[in-house]
Amino acid sequence: MASYFSNAGVKAGLDAMLDLLDAGGAGSLRIYSGTAPADADTALSGNTLLAQLALSSTGFASSTDGTGKATAAANSITTDSSADASGTATFCRMYTNGGTCVWQGTVGTSGANLNLVTTSIVATQPVSCSSFTMNLSETGT
């Protein structure tokens, strides 16, 4: 079975999801080690928070029409000037200011949702993200 969403529909959906990050104040991008939970609704289990970077009060710009997708770029993301712990970054999550997970993705040095210069995070060292783009596809199941 093949289904497709209109660009207007995926833009509205992406904007609504990303607006959740702004509720109650700026959200955050958190980077973890360990095995990623099954999805963004599954609780963490034995994972270590390596770094937490603050999103802007308006985390993302309004989405635009990409080829077969809606796309939205993050506004500035504040560097975590002192990583919380040392470890190998394996996944990341975006949270509301109130601590609700909205999104989860992979971390790597290329081909991941969040690409870092190195996945080796060292406690007390800075961790930064110079840009981040979120996409939502027009194809569904």
| pLDDT tens digits along 33-71 | 999 999 999 999 999 999 999 999 999 999 999 899 999
pLDDT higher than 80, residue 79: yes
Mean per-residue pLDDT, 71-91: 97
- pLDDT band of residue 1 (cuts 50, 70, 90) is confident
What confidence tier does 13 reach under pLDDT thresholds 50, 70, 90?
very high
pLDDT of residue 105: 97
Residue 30: pLDDT above 90? yes
Q: What are phi and psi of 60, to 5 degrees?
A: -135, 150
Encode pLDDT of 3-12 as tens digits: 999 999 999 9
Q: Is 135 exposed, middle or buried (0-12, 13-18, 19+ CB in 10 A)?
A: middle
